[in-house]
Chain A
Amino acid sequence: MTPNSQIRVDLQLIADMIQPRSRVLDVGCGDGALLDYLVQFKQVDGRGIELSSEGVNACVAAGLSVIQGDADTDLFDYPDRAFDYVVLGQTLQAVRAPRTTLDQLLRIGGHAIVSMPNFAHWRLRWRLLTRGRMPVSDALPFAWYDSPNIHLCSIRDFVALCRDLDARIERGLFLDQTGTPRRLGSGLSLANVLGEQAIFLLCRNGRTKN
């Protein structure tokens, strides 16, 4: 892998939330594109967890510190605040226990960065309403029977879970279907309809920003 300064727009938005030279854990790091960018261009101390052995092999072969593991089982080992940022990119909807996973992210990271597809996007609503079938889209390209996404939610659902877990949303963005990022305002109605995906920078309430 040669270092790539061009990464996917949602990964770039995540990278922009991360301070240089910080400690970062990328949970579900895939082929390591974000991690590689962060290590090469932001000099972070970067680690990753990835479920697929193809992904792990590619990451380690590229010199990244990545372990084969599972977000559902392998977050409990880490000590509190082991990292400045823990990233969970497009993975929350695929874990068995999203609430527990989010809780773990907030425990082991000073900040958690979570990106997620929004199941309340207007297109998905429209398809469900008009066709009466589980919607399939670019962001959610799987048929219901072979989808790894077992815990889909809306932006509003996610914000409610953050409240339950006493997490503060430090920054929120949503991307519309053209990929244009917009700030998540206090009223969620617009984001919940127009957002194809959302990205949140979170921390546990009562924690000072570092």
Chain B
Amino acid sequence: MISQAGLRQPGYGQPFALPGHRVLLGSERPLQLDSGAELAAFPIAWQSYGTLNSDRSNTVLICHALTGDQFVAEEHPVTGKPGWWSTIVGPGKLIDTNRWHVLCVNVLGGCMGSAGPSEINPRTGEPWGLAFPIVTIADMVRAQAMLLDHLGIDRLFAVIGGSMGGMQALEWASLYPERVFAAVPIATAAHHSAQNIAFHEVGRQAVMADPEWHEGEYWRHGKKPVAGLAVARMAAHITYLSEMKLHEKFGRKLQDRENIKYGFDAEFQVESYLRYQGQSFVERFDANSYLFITRAMDYFDMAARHGGVLANAFRDTPVRFCVISFTSDWLYPTVESRRIVHALNAVAANVSFAEIVSNNGHDAFLLDEPDFHRVLAGFLAGAAQHRGLLPLRNGSTPPSP
């Protein structure tokens, strides 16, 4: 296992040691990608919290979203900000790392140590760039399964994720039902809608329109398409919020001025906020990774692989599901979660589904939402009882899982 050594910050070739772990997978048996391409000897980086128990039954896999990474519950090594889910993951927290062995894997195509366009292509000795093979959500999950094989973990107690992380949770349950006891897809969908694809295309076109993108070979020029990527992030960020939230937070308030000045500065606070979001994003994220990962999400359509019937993706599933959506999420609205629930009902799967009332839009899953946290905690406790990892509440021993 290669630990830390050889990891680089997104930025092509600058040496940078990230916390956590990294390993080369697929040296003996390459990963067969959905596109038909193969990946051999590719790196996967991950972070872990807590301790694996003696019967290897307490692993919770957390899957990150489009612009997330493996640093769930610790200060981010690049930005210095708290981990993206440190509100609920950590010692004594909702996902208690004193009890659970938590793993989070940088997705295939990512830019925090796993194989992606900013990593070196072993055949050329140069960064992959656009020569990196197109990957899918299922490919990301297959790579994670290879990592679990490497770690000697047969079965996950739970796989949990929001947004693109939720897509991975669904794909995990579909591809490896015998390896997943419980799956929690949050604020997500079983396919990308035309609207989802449309927003992603705006982001990609913003990156590609930046002259510093150089057909994806910006490292040759010592530049990065920061302007394009920042615009992509600004547009995407709007989709993560709700109209109500934007109104509440900014309204028409002006930025550092009493009156409008009739110009194109960031006159309004909301403009200033978005510019800041765009700027801080480019410091930690690779533009080509953004292209590849948004593409993977666009290709996501679980029903398509199952004769157009989503239920077929889950036939005879033993997995316990908890589907969660948020009322003001218009990126992956409740109707998409309901579609998943209907498919699970059609195969009489064990499913819980709660729509949480929130003004926070899609981002609600990352924020302090007490109802959401109560539901998630209750579901995990109930699942742990059924898995035999917690005593039943009536004091009897649970039936064997």
Which of B79-87, B266-274, B338-346 forms contacts with chain A? B338-346
Type the 1/0 row for A41-70, where 1 means its CB is closer than 8 Å to any CB of B: 101010100000100110111111111110
Closest B residue to A46 using CB positions: B350
Contact between chains at A64 and B375 (CB < 8 Å): no
A3: which of B347, B352, B393 is its contact (CB, 8 Å)? B393
Answer whether A57 and B374 are a contact pair too, CB < 8 Å, given A67-B341, A77-B346, A78-B345: yes
A141 part of interface (Cβ distance < 8 Å): no
A64 partner residues in chain B, CB cutoff 8 A = 352, 382
Contact between chains at B346 and A2 (CB < 8 Å): no
Size of chain A's interface in residues, with CB distance under 8 A? 27
Give the secondary structure class of A's interface.
mixed
Which of B208-216, B300-308, B353-361 forms contacts with chain A? B353-361
Answer whether A40 and B394 are a contact pair too, CB < 8 Å, given A67-B351, A74-B345, A78-B346: yes
Contact between chains at A2 and B382 (CB < 8 Å): no
Type the 1/0 row for B365-395, where 1 means its CB is closer than 8 Å to any CB of A: 0000001001101110111010000001110
Contact between chains at B352 and A67 (CB < 8 Å): yes
Contact between chains at B348 and A78 (CB < 8 Å): yes
How far, in Å, is B245 (CB) from chain A's closest CB? Answer: 19
A82 part of interface (Cβ distance < 8 Å): yes
In Å, the complex CA distance between A67 and B337 comes to 11
Closest A residue to B320 using CB positions: A65
Type the 1/0 row for B316-356, where 1 means its CB is closer than 8 Å to any CB of A: 00001011000000000000000001110111101111111
Contact between chains at A68 and B345 (CB < 8 Å): no
A206 partner residues in chain B, CB cutoff 8 A = none
Size of chain B's interface in residues, with CB distance under 8 A? 32
Contact between chains at A66 and B352 (CB < 8 Å): yes
B399 part of interface (Cβ distance < 8 Å): yes
Contact between chains at A53 and B345 (CB < 8 Å): no
B320 partner residues in chain A, CB cutoff 8 A = 65
Q: Which of B342, B343, B348 has the largest number of chain A CB atoms within 10 A?
A: B348
How far, in Å, is B283 (CB) from chain A's closest CB? Answer: 38
Contact between chains at B350 and A68 (CB < 8 Å): no
B379: which of A2, A40, A41, A63 is its contact (CB, 8 Å)? A63
Q: Report 10 cross-chain contacts, Cβ distance below 8 Å, ordered by A residue.
A: A40-B392, A40-B394, A53-B356, A60-B354, A63-B383, A65-B382, A67-B352, A67-B353, A78-B345, A79-B347
Interface of B toward A, CB cutoff 8 Å: 320, 322-323, 341-343, 345-348, 350-357, 371, 374-375, 377-379, 381-383, 385, 392-394, 399
